Amino acid sequence: MPDERPAETADDTADESSGASTAVTGGPDPSTGVTHAPVPGPERAQRLQTASRRVAIASAELILIVIAVIIIGRVLGILWMVLLPVVLGLLFTTVLWPVTRFLRHHSWPPALAALVVLLLFLGAFGGIIAAIAPQVVGQVEEVADGVTQGLEQVQEYLAGPPFNIDDDQIGSAVDSVIDSVQNNAQNIAGYAVTTATTIGNLLINLVLALVLTFFFLKDGPKWVPWLAAQTGPQAAPHVAALSQKTWRTLSEFIRQQAIVGFVDAFFIGVGLLILGVPLVLPLAVLTFFGAFIPIIGAFVAGGFAVLIALVDSGLTTALIVLGIIIVVQQIEGNVLQPILQGRGLNLHAAVVILAVTAGASLAGIIGAFLAVPVAALIAVAYRYGRDVLDGNHPEVDEDGTRRQLAPDGAGTQLVREAAGEQRAD
């Protein structure tokens, strides 16, 4: 008999048959929804376990490295009073070594050459101080009078519109400041004692640095062979090569900053002299030494020059001095520094700023002064280690030789040998 069921009943039967077929073939079940997530593979759990293990190992290694860095930092902080004269002595030695080497090559005894060069250095430094001191003493009273006049002008300006602050209010503010100073007299005295102690420690470190400089100049060529001899024949070529690279980097930093400081001091000093600003020589010397603290030092030295020009000669002269400093700094930053850094430190300006900031926060002015050379030496060590890991043989010089230990009648010395022998080993 013919099928007399309604059409919709037949359709429902077809849908049920289709659903049954879909269920049989593994299709999605409409009652539970459809997900786009893939079906877990048979190796997912094993791979997740392996990845977790690697992350755990890497995390443990990172924690150990951080702990080691913290411990090393604490140890260096404890030994800072011992390390500071050594670092300063090395910096002084980079400046004085070329003259000492010249005298040694002309048959001067090492001790005599080191002593003469060190005395000449002290004499030159003392001569600079002797030349600056009379100008500072002679003109400081003039600058102080200018400061007094400037404060009076500020008081007159505050007394007029729009501030309309009368003398009684200004006097009350001054009395408040005086009372605050008196109430904190004990703390101020403590700060003064701390400052005096710091200056005393700095003088002691300076004397120790000069003594170490004498020994570095006298026995300089012996330090690298001695250091390499403590490590053994495998590490000796790397110790010698890394020592030479760090020494060249340190010398290059001093040479670069001396050139930059001289250029800044010369042109800024000429501008101050033309404008009739007082304390030209002290400001020029401050600018020269400020160049050894890159970026920050030039900013501070320029600020002093602008302030003195403002106090002594007024706003117009101060703005002109500011313009001169900006022009000189732009020439230095865009022309001189790229030329010098192209063959020198190879440090980005951001790294320099961060290094100076970190050094100043950790050790004050000395830290700011030493921050950039320390960062440059860390960069040299990093690049050397990277080249070793890449198999580039950074211990091999441009002439294809490397340094290796060899005994002689007086002990151990470094000799050059063909690099092929190292690669054959």
Mark out the alpha helices in 44-109 (DSSP H runs): 44-78, 80-105
**Stretch 197-203: mean pLDDT, rounded?**
72
Query: Phi and psi for 123 in degrees, rounded to 5?
Result: -65, -40
Q: Is 262 exposed, middle or buried (0-12, 13-18, 19+ CB in 10 A)?
A: middle
pLDDT above 90 covers a percentage of the chain that reads: 14
Rounded CA gap, 369 and 362, in Å? Answer: 12
pLDDT at 5 > cutoff 90: no
Comparison of pLDDT for 417 and 179, the residue scoring more: 417
More confident residue, 38 or 19: 38
* Cβ atoms 290, 334 nearer than 8 A: no
pLDDT at site 235: 84
Structure confidence at residue 57 as a pLDDT band (50, 70, 90): very high
Percent helix, strand and coil across the chain, each rounded to 5?
A: 80, 5, 15
Q: How confident is the model at residue 336 (pLDDT cuts 50, 70, 90)?
A: confident
pLDDT(187) > 80: no
* Weakest mean pLDDT among 63-67, 84-88, 153-157, 182-186: 182-186
Distances (CA, A) of 238 to 137, 332, 378, 383, 393: 53, 36, 16, 13, 9
Lowest mean pLDDT among 65-79, 95-109, 339-353: 339-353
Who contacts 253 (Cβ-Cβ below 8 Å, separation ≥6)? 344, 345, 372, 373, 376
d(CA 154, CA 164): 12
Whether residue 18 is predicted with pLDDT greater than 50 in this model: the reply is: no
Could you tell me if 315 and 146 are in contact, meaning their C-beta atoms sit under 8 angstroms apart? Answer: no
Please check the confidence at residue 203 and state whether its pLDDT lies above 70: yes
Mean pLDDT of the chain: 78
d(C-alpha 137, C-alpha 230), whole Å: 53
Task: Give residue 63's pLDDT band: very low, low, confident or very high (50, 70, 90).
Answer: very high
In Å, what is the CA distance from 313 to each residue of 269, 277, 284? 16, 7, 18
Which is higher by pLDDT, 211 or 397? 211
- Residue 22 confidence (pLDDT): 45
* Structure letter (DSSP) for residue 336: I
pTM of the complete model beyond 0.75: no
Chain centroid to CA 268: how far?
A: 25
326-344 average pLDDT score: 71
Per-residue pLDDT, 140: 65
Judged by DSSP in three states, 390 sits in coil
pLDDT confidence of residue 367: 82
Cα–Cα distance for residue pair 135/72, rounded to 1 Å? 46
The predicted structure's pLDDT at residue 113: 92
**Integer Cα distance of 264 and 337 in angstroms:** 12
CA pair distance 327, 259, nearest whole angstrom: 17
State how far the Cα of 77 lies from the Cα of 64, in Å rounded to an integer.
20
Q: How far apart are CA 282 and CA 132, in angstroms?
A: 6
Per-residue pLDDT of 230-288, as tens digits, reads 887 788 888 888 888 888 888 888 888 888 888 888 888 898 889 888 888 888 888 88
> What pLDDT band is residue 163 in, cutting at 50, 70 and 90?
low
Rounded CA-CA distance 232/234 in Å is 6
Query: Per mean pLDDT, which range of 15-24, 102-111, 195-204, 263-272 is the poorest?
Result: 15-24
Phi first, then psi, for residue 412 (nearest 5°) are -125, 140
pLDDT of residue 145: 66
For 64-73, 187-196, 207-216, 365-374, which range has the lowest pLDDT when averaged over its residues? 187-196
Containing 240, the helix (H) or strand (E) segment is helix 236-275
What is the pLDDT averaged over residues 62-73?
94
Helices 185-229 and 236-275, axial angle in degrees (round to 10)? 140
CA dihedral defined by 109, 110, 116, 119, rounded to 10 degrees?
A: -160
Task: Give yes or no for a contact between 119 and 127, defined as CB atoms under 8 angstroms apart.
Answer: no
Give the residue-averaged pLDDT of 137-146: 66
99's tokens = 């003259």
59 has a pLDDT exceeding 90: yes
